[in-house]
Structure 1
Amino acid sequence: MKILVTGSNGLLGQKLVQLITAQSNHDLIATARNENRLPFKEGYTFESLDITNEHQVMATVEKHKPEVIINTAAMTNVDQCELEQQDCWKLNVTAVKHLIKASEKHNAFLIQLSTDFIFDGENGPYSEEAEANPISYYGESKLAAENLITESKIQWAIARTVLVYGIAHDMSRSNIILWVKKSLEEGKDIEVVDDQWRTPTLAEDLAMGCFLIAEKKAKGIYNISGDDLLTPYEMAVKTAEFFNLPQTTMTKSDSTKFTQTAKRPPKTGFVLDKAKRELGYKPNTFEEGIKALANQME
């Protein structure tokens, strides 16, 4: 199968390239807006692609004619989306229009990444049928992209996820595990929120979920996240316990003490029954995720 991945320099993009190149029966075209930042160059073709540019999207899909397109490119910084709404819309919505148009023309199956932030967080964890009600501009943009896809004539799937964590090749991204580990090792005082709930997702698990959808061309919406519903404080405690770090400098806090530009839903998390049943999706536990990161850091 020929698969085109957008956003291959991002965390999920990197993990998808790693996963797909390990399977010799697939041709992979990895694309990103800037030059290729992946440390390995074998087993795939790289193309520079700005998905906000309709001409580039049409030309790239015309050239490679992929059977499946996995769109991992997005503006995902929630506060940045609130402040830079025009840029957010361009990348999260307008670019998806271009991908739909190219998919329709060349009969490609499009997999779009989405988020728990399309929900208001009043009734989590959510199933695929739950009613969306975003409370941030980021959530609005991702829901608008979902609506474009569900109303289109193409073959499609939407993979919704929650709080993705992992190790990027260049260590360019932090996450709660790395932050807690570093802070506690340095003896810093940290306050961690205990009134928000998520099902944190190991980047490798999300990549596998997307790959399973691609292989089966499984149409529809799928929740692809971790299985453990935790607060950030509980995640921090598990991290401290795994690395045998003292928790004396770590205190519970609540979200009212932090001023953030965009609103966050209090309780999201996903019900994974459909992905487990239809795709054979099996996520790692949060403890297993910490262990995976520890191994990669070594």
Structure 2
Amino acid sequence: MTKRILVTGSNGLLGQKLVELLRQQQPGVELIASSRGTNKLADLYPDLRFVVLDVTDRAQVQQVLQAERPTHLIHTAAMTNVDECELNRESCWLQNVTAVEYLIEACQQFDIHLTYVSTDFIFSGEQGPLTEEAAPGPVNFYGESKLAAEQAVQASSARWAIVRTVLVYGTAHEYGRTNIVLWVRNSLRAGKPIKVVDDQLRTPTLAEDLAQGCWLVAQHDAAGVYNISSSELLTPYQMALQVADYFHLDKSLITRVDASTFSQPAKRPLRTGFIITKAQRDLGYVPHTFQEGIALLARQTAD
């Protein structure tokens, strides 16, 4: 059966990777890209079906999903800047919770399978790596908003899956935000000393792997919660050293610090990272190593 997949947030990093993956590799998939703004991918994919969708507008959500009638919706749009969420709580709640409630309502009404993308920041950071059954306990407002949306999804009568991920990195078309790989590389190339924390543990996720995980969930009509990340538990400092080694850059410019060095509006969980056995077993998910991820970014940025 043809899967008609609508992706929200198609201008974002994950959204772009999903568009690329679903366009090029998946026969039997009809893709609808959607975003609040104009389509950034129009020049790359002139034939891409694109609809404007502001997920914080309930009437527009109803109208678009009724008109397009996707079989699956992969919801990647969110407010993800953790400090911005802490400082602008009303906007964070609207984008990360209220919008999800609107999507749930429409998915229930039109029998659409919903894949909701969540985060390791729903956890306290006291222990990790974590399974899908770990008890949540967010330490910042971003985590609170994502957990509230998860709970709304789980309480719904829609067909749903939750994909949790960790520290996503990658590069995309006209995408202004940086990531740990490019930040370290570009800083060291410029001879700029950097401070990198060594007391936070994560399983960093290549954006292509996250897109693959979301597609596998939709492909299998999977239900429940799935951890989608790499299986390597690393500190940002360890990641920075790997980046320096790969590009043959001066590691002496990297100073190891702990999180207390930085004063940020939002607290970060110290130790997260995921155990991904369930996704590997049930979905056939196979992530890249961090080294392979660095190499892919190097090729994509022609370095």
Find out whether 1:92 has 2:92 as its counterpart.
no
Counterpart for residue 40 of structure 2: 37
What is the Cα deviation at residue 266 of structure 1? 0.3
1:3-44 CA-to-partner distances (Å, cap 9, x unmatched) read: 000000000000000000112321111000000011422453
1:248 alignment partner, SS class: helix
Q: Displaced runs of 4+ in structure 1, greater than 6 A?
A: none
Superposition TM-score, scaled by structure 1 size: 0.99
What is the Cα deviation at residue 171 of structure 1? 4.4
CA distance in 1, matches of 2:114, 2:276: 21
Equivalent positions of 1:191-210 (< 5 A) are: 191-210=195-214
1:95-126 CA-to-partner distances (Å, cap 9, x unmatched) read: 00110111011000000000000000001111
Contact 1:159 1:221 in 2 (8 A): yes
Counterpart for residue 6 of structure 1: 8
Counterpart for residue 17 of structure 1: 19
Superposition TM-score, scaled by structure 2 size: 0.97
1:18 corresponds to which letter in structure 2? E
% same residue = 54
1:60 alignment partner, SS class: helix
2:73 alignment partner, SS class: strand
CA distance in 2, matches of 1:42, 1:113: 27
Match of 1:259 among 263, 266, 274: 263
2:196 alignment partner, SS class: strand
Equivalent positions of 1:241-260 (< 5 A) are: 241-260=245-264
Contact 1:27 1:44 in 2 (8 A): no
CA distance in 1, matches of 2:198, 2:209: 25
1:60-97 CA-to-partner distances (Å, cap 9, x unmatched) read: 00001000000000000000000000000000000001
What is the Cα deviation at residue 251 of structure 1? 1.1
1:37-57 CA-to-partner distances (Å, cap 9, x unmatched) read: 114224531001100000000
Equivalent positions of 1:183-194 (< 5 A) are: 183-194=187-198
CA distance in 2, matches of 1:191, 1:183: 11
Match of 2:157 among 147, 153, 156: 153
Counterpart for residue 297 of structure 2: 293
1:181-236 CA-to-partner distances (Å, cap 9, x unmatched) read: 11111111111110000000000000000000000010000000111110000000
CA distance in 2, matches of 1:43, 1:286: 33
1:179 corresponds to which letter in structure 2? W
Give me the CA root mean square deviation. 0.8
Q: Which consecutive residues of structure 1, in runs of 5 or more, have no partner in the other structure?
A: none
Counterpart for residue 215 of structure 1: 219
Contact 2:169 2:206 in 1 (8 A): yes
Counterpart for residue 176 of structure 2: 172
1:278 corresponds to which letter in structure 2? D
CA distance in 1, matches of 2:47, 2:282: 29
CA distance in 2, matches of 1:275, 1:2: 23
Q: Which consecutive residues of structure 2, in runs of 5 or more, have no partner in the other structure?
A: none
